[in-house]
Amino acid sequence: MIEAGLPAPRQGEPFLPGPVFASKYHLYGAPETSPYTYGRNDNPTWTRFEEALAELEGGPSVVFASGMAAVTAVLTEAVLHGRRRRPVLVMPSDGYNLARTLVRDHFEPLGVRVRSVPTTGPYDPATLRGASLVWIETPSNPGLDVCDLRTTTRAAHRAGALVAVDNTTATVLGQRPLAFGADFSVASDSKSLSGHSDLVLGHVATRERAWADRIRNFRKQQGAIPGPMETWLAHRSLATLALRLERQATNALGIARFLRTRREVRGVRYPGLPHDPSHEIAARQMRFYGPIVGFELASEARAERFLRAGRLLRSATSFGGLHTSAERRARWKSGDDVAPGFVRLSAGCEDLDDLIADLGAALDASRR
Ligand SMILES: *Cc1c(COP(=O)(O)O)cnc(C)c1O
């Protein structure tokens, strides 16, 4: 983890060389003779980060300008440019909202047929028949349902489909989709992976080099390339991922347990809670249960008062950062199918006792 993607020690050189800013490189003769040609094609800072990701994911990786750019690359290559004329894409009905609207607005008009299935399944033969790609998100955002990666991947492969896992909520350290047989592991690195709320980035990892080459070629042609600065910051942050995830998971579990003791809080979900509906499967495939806790307050007004009353708790979207944050998901007009008082909280790395004191005070203040 801490060593991933670092060059071999050399006298007088830094551990992780800084970002390389270049639109072009010295290039004589045939372009194939140089590893670096033009800034949209390749960059040494991407190479180092991709080597780190490949080591952790267990397969060649390609970094993108955002999680959505990574999602788009996989959908384009695995569904649109597959062998079928009217490809079928199986997608979670409760997954990340923007992936679903991207498919609705830009892939369905090109002839892609979508079959929606809840994250918990069933992934039965009728659902999987003729599918080009099965898209999985586990734990799902924001509902925190899970699906069994091993059995779902097996069933999809039997039906002749490829499998992509959006691994954003878990990160590669929390769960390794390729090890469970998935063909693609896709993630937004804007969340826990980089973890400092200071950049937007994404990546795709693949089991086969040929797929990584296609995905990389798509990046070059389509142009959703990451900035060297963002890529370098993400690589630097990767070294502390284990420390951050461990603390976030401990805090999230402590917060979930605390929320369950409060009468005004309903429907607390955290895959690390022993009685959570997701726990049994999550325990089989996850190393860390992640930072996200879901729960409900009685109304929109109550949830908004709670979010404004927090001092350590910041009101913000997204998740996985050092600072504990939360939001009422229903505030997004085209958003998730959740109750008006549903709150998605992302546990940060603060002291747990301080956090619980702050959340308790905010819940008290939300009462009036
Ligand atoms: C945030 C997120 C994305 C999109 O990533 P960006 O980096 O914001 O483009 C995709 N999937 C999930 C599950 C996410 O939470």
Mean pLDDT of the chain: 96
Query: Tens of pLDDT along 359-368?
Result: 999 999 999 7
pLDDT band at 333 (very low <50, low <70, confident <90, very high): confident
Q: Whose CA is nearest to atom 6 of ligand 1?
A: 67
Alpha-carbon separation of residue 303 from 74, 300, 306, 307, 334 (angstroms): 37, 5, 5, 6, 19
Cα(210)–Cα(218) distance, rounded to whole angstroms? 12
Query: Tens of pLDDT along 228-265?
Result: 999 999 999 999 999 999 999 999 999 999 999 999 99
Ligand 1 centre from 319 Cα, in Å?
10
pLDDT at 1 over 80: no
Q: Whose CA is nearest to atom 1 of ligand 1?
A: 188
Q: Which of 72, 190, 344 has most ligand 1 atoms within 8 Å of its beta carbon, as the pocket-test mutant?
A: 190
Q: For the chain, count helices (H), then strands (E).
A: 12, 12
pLDDT at 283 over 90: yes
Say which DSSP state 156 is in.
H
Q: Which candidate, 263, 257, 361, places its Cα nearest to that of 313?
A: 361
DSSP 95-134: S-HHHHHHIIIIIGGGT-EEEEE-TT----HHHHTTEEEE
pLDDT band at 9 (very low <50, low <70, confident <90, very high): very high
Mark residue 348 as left, alpha or beta (left: phi above 0; alpha: psi -120 to 50; beta: remaining): beta
Cα(325)–Cα(302) distance, rounded to whole angstroms? 17
- Beta-carbon count within 10 A of 11 CB: 4
This prediction has a pTM of 0.96
What is the structure's pLDDT at 334? 74
Q: Whose CA is nearest to atom 7 of ligand 1?
A: 67
